[in-house]
Amino acid sequence: QDADFLKRIMSFMEDNMSNSELTVEMLVSEVGMGRTVFFNKLKGLLGMSPIEFIKETRIKRAAELLETGRYNVSEVSFQIGMNDSRYFSKCFKHKYGMTPSEFKNKTT
C-alpha cells in the first residue's frame, strides 16, 4: 500500500514536473485522501513535507538533466517547473553545495 502510494505520487510528479503551477492540492487530489492524512503519510514515509517533496523531486531531476549535458541551466529550470532561475539556483546550491552551472561543468 505504501509502495503504491509512493509510486503514484512519483508518477504524478513525472507527468507534471514542468508545470510551474503544481500544488500540494493537486498531489492530494491525485491520491484521493485528505490533506492532513496525505501530509502525515508522506512525512512518515519520506521524512519531508509535501512542499519539500515537490522541491526535492524537481531538484533531483534538474541534476539528472544537467548531467546529460544536453540542456543549459535555463532550459533545465523551465523543464522542472521552476521558472525563477535565481530561486532554482538557490535551491540547487542548498542541496548539492554548488550552483547548477558549477554542477553542469563538473559533471559534463
Contact 71, 80 (CB under 8 A): no
- pLDDT-derived band at 108 (thresholds 50, 70, 90) equals confident
User: Per-domain residue ranges for the chain?
Assistant: 2-107
Residue 16 has pLDDT above 90, yes or no: yes
User: Which one, of 30, 57, 51, lies nearest residue 39 by Cα?
Assistant: 51
Q: Mean of the per-residue pLDDT values for the chain?
A: 96
Q: What is the pLDDT of residues 49-67, one digit of tens each?
A: 999 999 999 999 999 999 9
Residue 96 pLDDT: 97
Q: Whole-model pTM?
A: 0.93
Residue 86 has pLDDT above 80, yes or no: yes
Q: What is the pLDDT of residues 20-47, one digit of tens each?
A: 999 999 999 999 999 999 999 999 999 9
Q: What is the pLDDT of residues 89-100, one digit of tens each?
A: 999 999 999 999
| All residues at 6 or more sequence positions from 34 whose CB lies less than 8 Å from its CB, including other chains | 28
Q: Assign residue 81 a region: left if phi > 0, alpha if psi is -120 to 50, beta otherwise?
A: left
Alpha-carbon gap, residue 23 to 94, rounded angstroms = 22
For 2-107, the fitting CATH number among 1.10.287.130, 1.10.10.60, 3.40.50.1260, 3.40.640.10 is 1.10.10.60
